[in-house]
């Protein structure tokens, strides 16, 4: 008889969501379906805290694995062979599955969802382990084995596979509310955005540019970054907002040590406006305490002071090295280190303020008439829709946004 293959997926924190569990599971399953939409399968079911993908092409497992790693909320996934839950069959299949594998140690990891099964998980481990040992003469190693034989007993069926791929865990994208992420083309903000996607937040992105004073490279880098982040989110929106006129006004009217802070305050005000107009309830930035002059606690306070909406800073306490490693892992690092002229670093004075006095900042800002320029920036923003399409890579659609009256 031909083997029947499936993918068995375990999800992460959804299982602790109590009353909302069914909704979380549904969103997770729906997202998963979209991620593998161009790969063959016949059905996807959620049962007993597991998701089963049936009718797959097992020869394309690597492709499924690449996609599944990007589904937020996924803890792990294994390519499984499904058989009736009889211990003799499980033993034989386990031995058969590893016949082409090169290994010097192994372990068996059995799990029973079906508690009436005559053997406990430990008994299954011992039984199958002894069988494998008798054939391959290799030792069992519980920690760091070369090979992990995974067995799950669910509703009278056994699922047997070798090794699992591990996802990022967290919560399915879309189960959190909407937030606006301020995306530069540096290393930090793509990582902070990723961390929020991992918590299920639905992100809309804004990028500020100083074209034509700076090159349009940062815009291309940001698009490239979003093509990478779209692997996790599938579809997202990006607002390009021109900042040059605001910066020029600030530079003409404020002492240079306050420029960066005043730019930041203008940025968050514009981002808050976008958030209000699309029903987003927080801003996300890649700020990191002490990394640069504008990111001291006092300056962070002076930035937050400009808006009412909460600003979440997922990387506040991370070390640079950890952020870089994360950027490499999620695939944004290479784009982030491409040279570009950032709208802020381009105009940064030699000695920026590191400990802003809130009152002083407010007073200086009050003397600059920024409102018409903030309005201009919103009216001249452009919106792009970025969709991840695995077959054609990604499609980008660009549209001018509809402007609404800016209420400041």
Q: Which residues bind Mg ion (CB under 5 A)?
A: 184, 186
Residue 214 interface partner, choices ligand ATP, Mg ion, none, CB cut-off 5-8 Å depending on type: none
The torsion of the CA quartet 108, 113, 117, 120, rounded to 10 degrees, works out to: 40
Query: How many angstroms separate the CA atoms of 205 and 226, rounded?
Result: 9
Cβ-based nearer residue to ligand ATP, 172 or 186: 186
Cβ-based nearer residue to ligand ATP, 124 or 284: 284
Cβ-based nearer residue to Mg ion, 176 or 186: 186
Q: Which of 233, 285, 332, 381 binds ligand ATP (CB under 6 A)?
A: 285
Q: Is 247 in the site for ligand ATP (CB under 6 A)?
A: no
Q: Which residues contact 308 (CB under 8 A, 6 or more apart)?
A: 272
Considering only residues 181 to 240 of the shown chain, the ones binding ligand ATP according to CB under 6 A are 182-184, 186-189, 206-208
Using CB under 6 A, which of the segments 9-17, 56-64, 150-158, 291-299 binds ligand ATP? Answer: 291-299
**φ and ψ at residue 34, rounded to 5 degrees:** -65, -40
The torsion of the CA quartet 40, 41, 42, 44, rounded to 10 degrees, works out to: -150
Residue 292 interface partner, choices ligand ATP, Mg ion, none, CB cut-off 5-8 Å depending on type: ligand ATP
Report, in angstroms and rounded to the nearest whole number, the Rg of the chain calculated over CA atoms.
Answer: 26
Binding mask 337-356 for ligand ATP (x = CB under 6 A): -----xxx------------
Q: Are 200 and 176 in contact (CB under 8 A)?
A: yes
Q: Are 240 and 207 in contact (CB under 8 A)?
A: yes
Total residues binding ligand ATP (CB under 6 A): 20
Q: Are 144 and 155 in contact (CB under 8 A)?
A: no
Minimum distance of ligand ATP from residue 130's CB (angstroms): 54
Cβ-based nearer residue to ligand ATP, 74 or 327: 327
Residue with tokens 């699992």: 164
Residue with tokens 């791929």: 165
Minimum distance of Mg ion from residue 215's CB (angstroms): 15
Minimum distance of Mg ion from residue 195's CB (angstroms): 17
Query: How many angstroms separate the CA atoms of 105 and 144, rounded?
Result: 9
Residue nearest Mg ion by beta-carbon distance: 186
Residue 17 is given by DSSP the state: -
Query: How many angstroms separate the CA atoms of 10 and 78, rounded?
Result: 9
Cβ-based nearer residue to ligand ATP, 81 or 299: 299
- Residues near ligand ATP, by CB under 6 A: 182-184, 186-189, 206-208, 285-287, 291-292, 294-295, 342-344
């Amino acid at each position: 008889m031909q083997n029947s293959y499936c993918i068995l997926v375990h999800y992460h924190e959804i299982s602790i969501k109590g009353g909302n569990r069914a909704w979380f599971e549904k969103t997770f399953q729906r997202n998963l379906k979209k991620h593998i939409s161009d790969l063959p399968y016949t059905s996807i079911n959620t049962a007993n805290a597991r998701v089963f993908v049936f009718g797959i092409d097992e020869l394309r497992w690597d492709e499924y694995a690449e996609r599944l790693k990007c589904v937020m909320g996924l803890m792990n996934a294994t390519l499984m062979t499904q058989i009736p839950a009889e211990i003799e069959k499980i033993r034989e299949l386990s031995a058969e599955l590893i016949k082409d594998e090169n290994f010097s140690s192994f372990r068996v990891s059995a799990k029973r969802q079906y508690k009436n099964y005559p053997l406990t998980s430990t008994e299954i481990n011992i039984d199958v382990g002894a069988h494998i040992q008798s054939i391959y003469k290799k030792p069992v190693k519980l920690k760091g084995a070369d090979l992990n034989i995974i067995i799950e007993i669910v509703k009278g069926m056994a699922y047997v596979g070798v090794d699992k791929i591990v996802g990022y865990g967290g919560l399915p994208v879309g189960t959190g509310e909407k937030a606006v992420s301020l995306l530069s083309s540096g290393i930090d903000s793509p990582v902070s955005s990723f961390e929020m996607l991992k918590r299920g937040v639905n992100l809309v992105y804004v990028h500020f540019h100083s074209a034509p004073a700076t090159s349009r490279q940062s815009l291309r880098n940001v698009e490239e970054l979003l093509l990478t982040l779209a692997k996790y989110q599938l579809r997202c929106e990006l607002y390009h907002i021109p900042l040059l006129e605001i910066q020029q006004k600030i530079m003409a009217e404020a002492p240079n040590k306050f420029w960066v802070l005043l730019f930041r305050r203008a940025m968050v005000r514009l981002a808050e406006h976008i958030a209000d107009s699309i029903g987003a309830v927080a801003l996300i930035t890649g700020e990191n305490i002490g990394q640069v002059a504008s990111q001291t606690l006092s300056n962070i306070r002076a930035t937050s002071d400009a808006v009412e909406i909460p600003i979440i800073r997922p990387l506040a306490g991370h070390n640079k090295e950890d952020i870089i490693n994360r950027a490499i892992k999620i695939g944004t690092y290479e784009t982030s280190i491409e040279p570009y002229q950032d709208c802020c670093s381009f105009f940064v004075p030699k000695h920026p303020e590191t400990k802003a006095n809130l009152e002083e900042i407010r007073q200086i800002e009050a003397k600059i008439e920024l409102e018409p320029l903030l309005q201009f920036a919103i009216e001249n923003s452009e919106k792009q829709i970025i969709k991840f399409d695995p077959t054609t890579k990604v499609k980008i659609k660009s549209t001018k946004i509809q402007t609404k009256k800016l209420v400041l």
